[in-house]
Amino acid sequence: MNNFIFENATKVYFGKGCVKEYLSCLLEPYGDTVLLAYGGESIKKNGVYDEVMAILARAGKTVVEFPGIMSNPTYKKVMAGAQLAREVQAKVILGIGGGSVMDCCKAIALAARYDGDIWNDFWERPGVIDFEPLPLGVIVTTAGTGSECNGGAVITNEDKKIKTGRDYPKCNPKFALMDPTYTYSVPQKQMISGSFDILSHIMETYFSGPDEDNVSDDIMEALMRSVIRNLRIAIGNPQDYTARSNLMWASTMAENRIIKLGKKCDFECHQMEHQLGDYTDCNHGCGLAVLHPVYYRHICEAGKEKFSRFATEVWGISPEGKTTEELARAGVEALADFIKEIGLPATLRELGVTEETDLKAIADSCAIVPGSYKKMTHEEILEIFKECF
């Protein structure tokens, strides 16, 4: 394994009823004014909003709401939240939702206590946070991004047509409350696309060096099998508590930095989807589902040993009578078949991309990451987009 330093400061409270049991005492150290951030109306329809507001009222908190965080949070939305936090002198941010809400809240927490331009200083390029962001706690309502246990935030700069993420340990939430029953009301399509995002996070770490025997790869194979198994169960029974709790924790495990220890990580496919989403605002998990099989067909020859292991250890494909190359390709096709099985799209057309969409501009805007088995070029990324079309 490669050398590493590990840190994760977020304290997790997991399980049925954890919000009622712990939220009030967790907010005690942070003063009276809470900036309550969330997305649309879903938390009001499913009862989470009323439950949280009742807890905050009993705790004597002054609540200032910041709703309307969109699925691909923008820098403008971040700055609006930071301005509101400063105006009301918020002592803590409480984010309720999925990855987009949590990502936006992390950036707000940073911007609320920084006088400069956080995009230029922390997102355009890596920066050093030598101050304390506004404290943040999160209540997770969807499984997918794993944002609850890291300092990562993916933000879209609409003016510059760039969607990018950074992970700063100082932006980790102080606490995360994770009640799997809160995910029951998530629409099935969103549940499926979020679960595929979990699988994508794991795969993009798995398909990178080093490839000699290591703990991270063993953990990832178990996690991938778990996501596949439990997603199938959750599709059949959306209120299966065991399946939903397993998916929720797998989401956290995929992005709490543990499986990345000692790995190079290949997030090229995520880079491609981020820019595709920036230009088209497509669903993140659906975009990944379209891109992954095609991208992996391009790189599986360069990483054939790992892709063949993926075939046997994750999909249970017998190696008998197959060359390493054939087994590697079989693993990729098993992934493509699973994507069809769970009802996710297989083409960019299904995401609303048309002949008028400038695929070259999107390809040229993609960052080239160093962790891939095969170094991409903007020309090959354009080929992948065209094959996906």
- Distance CA(172)–CA(145), nearest Å, equals 14
| 356 within a domain of the structure (yes/no) | yes
How, if at all, do strands 33-38 and 92-97 pair?
parallel
What pLDDT is stored for residue 245 in this prediction?
98
pLDDT band at 227 (very low <50, low <70, confident <90, very high): very high
Of 183, 218, 251, which residue is a domain's last?
183
User: What's the rounded mean pLDDT across residues 166-180?
Assistant: 96
User: What's the rounded mean pLDDT across residues 89-100?
Assistant: 97
Range of the domain at 91: 11-183
Burial category of 349 from C-beta neighbours within 10 Å (exposed 0-12, middle 13-18, buried 19 and up) = middle
User: What's the rounded mean pLDDT across residues 355-379?
Assistant: 93
pLDDT band at 161 (very low <50, low <70, confident <90, very high): confident
Sign of CA dihedral 124, 285, 5, 310: negative
Domain tally for the chain? Answer: 2
What pLDDT is stored for residue 3 in this prediction?
83
Residues 150 and 222 in one domain: no
Give the pTM: 0.94
Whether 4 shows a pLDDT value over 80: the answer reads: no
- Distance CA(201)–CA(312), nearest Å, equals 20
Residues 383 and 241 in one domain: yes
pLDDT band at 86 (very low <50, low <70, confident <90, very high): very high
What pLDDT is stored for residue 368 in this prediction?
93
| 2 within a domain of the structure (yes/no) | no
Helices marked H in 237-376: 241-255, 268-280, 284-299, 304-313, 324-341, 359-365
Of 154, 183, 212, which residue is a domain's last?
183
User: What's the rounded mean pLDDT across residues 301-318?
Assistant: 97
What pLDDT is stored for residue 220 in this prediction?
98
What pLDDT is stored for residue 209 in this prediction?
94
What pLDDT is stored for residue 187 in this prediction?
93
Please tell me whether residue 105 adopts helix, strand or coil conformation. Answer: helix
Residues 349 and 222 in one domain: yes
Partners of 121 in the β-ladder: none
Residues 83 and 159 in one domain: yes
What pLDDT is stored for residue 6 in this prediction?
81
Write the CATH number for 382: 1.20.1090.10
User: What's the rounded mean pLDDT across residues 16-32?
Assistant: 96
What pLDDT is stored for residue 277 in this prediction?
85
pLDDT tens sequence across 116-150: 999 999 999 999 999 999 999 999 999 999 999 99
> For residues 202 and 254, is the Cβ–Cβ distance under 8 A?
yes
Residues 2-33: b if buried by 16+ CB within 10 A, e if exposed: eeeeeeeebebbeeeebbeebbeebbeebeee
